[in-house]
């Protein structure tokens, strides 16, 4: 039973009436939303909406727990829509039911259950009840868990409605207790059983938890185990996860019970004792009957029937001696030659014991020698592995030493190159100094020549303009 904790009690009670045992193994945990302010605000302004949709019984219970702080009476004029009969029952628990309130669900409250209970069927019921485009231009509130399908909201928006969605609860992946996992491990070892999964998210959580807690072989057994799903969409999700024995029961506990009973009848066969097979010992018969009844009551046993039949057969086949009188038994008289037969049998038994002891000793010695040899081989292999590791470490150490030497050599080469660079730099500086000194001397000589030319021009021609030009050129050179 993989419904959230506390939501399988009614179904478990019905199954118990039919002799089936159940294991509560929730695959979804319902938790409060982190912030209830949006939900409280929406429920505090119900007059704005023309319709309120609750997507699940959890949405109904969580919403009305929050609504209790606003009011204790649901507005009678505000229609409510739910997906299935479980949500209808949840509304009734909170005082919302026909005829005081208008509750819309697939096929309507109290009518025969349809084949499907989903958003598609609910939308068809809304169109049938209110008419096509009845909510155009009106507000519709959808109360749901965090996330979920958007199909109904999209269809209502396409019909012209202004849809608001608000979360009333959170779905989280639970962690089943160790005792539950222990029983699951035992069932997956081969005991006939079936899984009831009532949501696609539960199927995905089962696959996730199986990968964390089950072995590869147990996962294979899990995917071959019978799985009952109330809706084809859940079956499709399970099939995509690798489950290959899926039965669609239809919604509602009644159909689930019928499906599980059908599966159980195909697994557990009742024990029928014919007169020829009836055991001679009444006490053994009682024990077998009780064992058969107990195991038939469990969905997961078939071995008790075969063990009961074998026990009955062995009881009827045992040799017995007739009683000599009513109410008292005469001493058992062995047939003639029984003493010699017993002595011969005793000798044969003794020889058989001796042979078995000798054979056991030989086998034990052989296996002991094999074990010693194996231990010796393991010791040799470990020694060889240790030597290989030591050699590898030595090789690494040698490589490290060689690398260090190579680094020292490279450092020495770099130091030599640095010294050469410094010497080259000093030579270049000296050359630059020499070149600068020679250039200064040449400049002074050039200026002196200009002054001499200007002086000669003044003496010979008296051309002051030419002399002035020569002086200006000399001044520029000096600058």
Domain residue ranges in the chain: 29-172, 178-265, 352-466
| Residues 232/252, Cβ–Cβ less than 8 Å | no
How confident is the model over 363-382, as a mean pLDDT?
A: 70
Strands 162-172 and 29-31: antiparallel
Helix (H, G, I), strand (E, B) or coil at 31: strand
Question: What pLDDT, on a 0 to 100 scale, did the predictor assign at position 423?
Answer: 81
Residue 371 banded pLDDT, cuts 50, 70, 90: low
Same fold, 29-172 and 178-265: yes
How confident is the model over 5-20, as a mean pLDDT?
A: 89
**Residue pLDDT, tens place only, 213-228:** 999 999 999 999 999 9
Helix (H, G, I), strand (E, B) or coil at 194: coil
| Residues 84/105, Cβ–Cβ less than 8 Å | yes
pLDDT at residue 363 is higher than 80:
no
Question: What pLDDT, on a 0 to 100 scale, did the predictor assign at position 415?
Answer: 82
Alpha-carbon distance of 47 to 53, in angstroms, equals: 15
311 vs 190, 271, 280, CA distance in Å?
22, 13, 11
Report the predicted TM-score, pTM, of the whole model to 2 decimal places: 0.47
How confident is the model over 219-241, as a mean pLDDT?
A: 92
Residue 168: which H helix or E strand, with range? strand 162-172
How confident is the model over 235-251, as a mean pLDDT?
A: 90
Alpha-carbon distance of 436 to 453, in angstroms, equals: 26
Question: What pLDDT, on a 0 to 100 scale, did the predictor assign at position 409?
Answer: 82
pLDDT at residue 111 is higher than 50:
no
pLDDT at residue 394 is higher than 70:
yes
pLDDT at residue 366 is higher than 80:
no
How confident is the model over 279-284, as a mean pLDDT?
A: 36
User: Higher pLDDT residue, 309 or 135?
Assistant: 135
**Residue pLDDT, tens place only, 166-207:** 999 988 888 889 999 999 999 998 888 999 998 888 999 999
| Residues 202/27, Cβ–Cβ less than 8 Å | yes
Which structure tokens are listed for 97? 């039911």
pLDDT at residue 299 is higher than 50:
no
User: Higher pLDDT residue, 369 or 61?
Assistant: 61
Residues 6+ apart with CB under 8 A from 38: 166, 167
How confident is the model over 136-157, as a mean pLDDT?
A: 89
Q: What is the mean pLDDT of the chain?
A: 78
What DSSP letter does each residue of 50-68 carry, written as one string?
SEEEE-SHHHHHHHHHHHT
User: Higher pLDDT residue, 81 or 348?
Assistant: 81
Question: What pLDDT, on a 0 to 100 scale, did the predictor assign at position 115?
Answer: 54
* Range of weakest confidence among 24-38, 94-108, 109-123, 408-422: 109-123
Alpha-carbon distance of 251 to 230, in angstroms, equals: 5
pLDDT at residue 288 is higher than 50:
no
pLDDT at residue 331 is higher than 60:
no
Question: What pLDDT, on a 0 to 100 scale, did the predictor assign at position 326?
Answer: 35
Question: What pLDDT, on a 0 to 100 scale, did the predictor assign at position 64?
Answer: 94
pLDDT at residue 313 is higher than 70:
no
> Domain 29-172 adopts which CATH fold?
Rossmann fold (3.40.50)
Opening angle at CA 360, ends 355 and 361, nearest 5: 100
Class of domain 178-265: alpha beta
Residue 401 banded pLDDT, cuts 50, 70, 90: confident
pLDDT at residue 431 is higher than 80:
no
Alpha-carbon distance of 473 to 479, in angstroms, equals: 10
How confident is the model over 93-98, as a mean pLDDT?
A: 92
User: Higher pLDDT residue, 138 or 376?
Assistant: 138
- The single residue listed with the structure tokens 């949709």 is 53
User: Higher pLDDT residue, 365 or 156?
Assistant: 156
């Amino acid at each position: 039973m993989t419904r959230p904790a506390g939501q399988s009690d009614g179904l478990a009670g019905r199954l118990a009436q039919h002799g089936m045992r159940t294991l509560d193994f929730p695959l979804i945990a319902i938790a409060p939303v982190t912030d209830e302010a949006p939900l409280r605000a929406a429920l505090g302004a119900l007059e704005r909406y023309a319709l309120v949709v609750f997507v699940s019984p959890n949405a109904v219970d969580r919403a009305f727990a929050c609504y209790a702080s606003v009011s204790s009476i649901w507005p009678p004029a505000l229609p409510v829509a739910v997906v299935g009969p479980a949500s209808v029952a949840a509304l009734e628990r909170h005082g919302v039911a026909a005829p005081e309130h208008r509750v819309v669900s697939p096929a309507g409250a109290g009518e025969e259950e349809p084949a499907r209970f989903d958003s598609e069927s609910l939308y068809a019921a809304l169109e049938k009840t209110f008419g096509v485009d009845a909510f155009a231009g009106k507000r519709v509130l959808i109360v749901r868990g965090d996330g979920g399908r958007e199909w109904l909201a999209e269809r209502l928006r396409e019909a012209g409605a202004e849809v608001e969605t608000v979360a009333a609860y959170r779905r989280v992946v639970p962690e089943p207790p160790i005792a539950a996992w222990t029983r699951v491990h035992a069932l997956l070892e081969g005991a006939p059983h079936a899984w009831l999964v009532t949501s696609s998210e539960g199927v995905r959580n089962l696959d996730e938890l199986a990968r964390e807690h089950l072995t590869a072989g147990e996962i294979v057994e899990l995917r071959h185990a019978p799985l009952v799903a109330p809706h084809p969409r859940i079956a499709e999700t399970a099939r995509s996860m690798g489950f290959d024995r899926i039965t669609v029961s239809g919604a509602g506990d009644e159909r689930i019970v019928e499906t599980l009973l059908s599966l159980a009848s195909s697994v557990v066969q009742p024990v029928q004792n014919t007169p020829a097979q009836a055991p001679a010992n009444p006490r053994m018969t009682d024990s077998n009957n009780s064992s058969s009844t107990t195991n038939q009551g469990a969905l997961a046993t078939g071995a008790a029937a075969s063990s009961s039949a074998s026990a009955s057969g062995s009881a009827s086949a045992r040799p017995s001696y007739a009683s000599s009188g009513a109410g008292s038994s005469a001493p058992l008289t062995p047939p003639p030659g029984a003493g010699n037969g017993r002595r011969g049998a005793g000798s044969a038994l003794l020889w058989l014991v001796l042979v078995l002891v000798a054979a056991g000793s030989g086998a034990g010695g052989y296996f002991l020698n094999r074990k010693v040899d194996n231990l010796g081989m393991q010791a040799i292999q470990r020694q060889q592995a240790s030597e290989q590791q030591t050699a590898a470490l030595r090789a690494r150490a040698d490589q490290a030493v060689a690398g260090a030497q190579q680094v020292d050599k490279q450092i020495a080469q770099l130091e030599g190159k640095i010294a050469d660079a410094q010497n080259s730099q000093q030579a270049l500086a000296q050359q630059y100094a020499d070149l600068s000194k020679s250039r200064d001397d040449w400049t002074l000589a050039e200026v002196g020549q200009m002054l001499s030319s200007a002086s000669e021009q003044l003496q010979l021609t008296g051309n002051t303009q030419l002399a002035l030009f020569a002086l200006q050129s000399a001044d520029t050179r000096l600058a």
